[in-house]
Chain A
Amino acid sequence: TQLLEQSPQFLSIQEGENLTVYCNSSSVFSSLQWYRQEPGEGPVLLVTVVTGGEVKKLKRLTFQFGDARKDSSLHITAAQPGDTGLYLCAGYNNDMRFGAGTRLTVKP
């Protein structure tokens, strides 16, 4: 069973700061997804990456899939309080597995 390690587990920053969170594994994934989850709600899909080295941008969020398709990063520019939430990555390799998430708090 492949494991997805997300780091950091917790991150608290001030509004306007930049941040990067990571999703790492020893397994190769054919695709990887990032989700954001707010308290009391289900995860919402942000992006899917499938090609090694792929970079996708969603407004202030930049997602990168590692060249070897074993890891991914999420960079947020000028974070806002609305970015607060639990960020989960999920990778597919024979089955879909989820990381434990990074809990981000952006203080106004």
Chain B
Amino acid sequence: SQTIHQWPATLVQPVGSPLSLECTVEGTSNPNLYWYRQAAGRGLQLLFYSVGIGQISSEVPQNLSASRPQDRQFILSSKKLLLSDSGFYLCAWSVRENQPQHFGDGTRLSIL
């Protein structure tokens, strides 16, 4: 069966520090991969999605970037974190764009 792993579960970082959040999927090949940020009471905001290695689409221009160095690995990064980057970050995968997405357990990021 397919599984998705996301880490770390929680992270506290100072303003201006770099960020790297990692997500890996097991049990499937060539999945679509997604990064979301979830703010309280505001649902899921799609940040990036990828349909293949090295292929990244950005939905919202901001302080973050994403990379897909391997088929089942998706990384969310920042060179310098802002206070506004605080939030709950979720990684997800799907077989195809029109198929249901399956989520990791999320990373709670707090910027101090």
Given A33-B100, A48-B100, A41 and B41 contact (CB-CB distance below 8 Å)? no
Chain B, interface SS category:
loop
Chain A, interface SS category:
strand
> Complex Cα distance A9/B42, Å?
10
Q: Is A90 close to B, CB under 8 A?
A: yes
- 0 or 1 for each of B8-48: is its CB under 8 Å from A? (1 = yes): 00000000000000000000000000000000011110000
Q: Is B7 close to A, CB under 8 A?
A: no
The number of chain A residues with a CB under 8 A from chain B is 22
Instruction: Name which of B97, B98, B100, B104 has the most chain A CB atoms within 10 A of its CB.
Output: B100
A40: which B residues are within 8 A, CB to CB? 105-106, 108
B residues near A (Cβ < 8 Å) are 6, 41-44, 90, 92, 94, 97-98, 100-106, 108
A residues near B (Cβ < 8 Å) are 9, 30-31, 33, 35, 40-45, 48, 88, 90, 92, 95-96, 98-101, 103
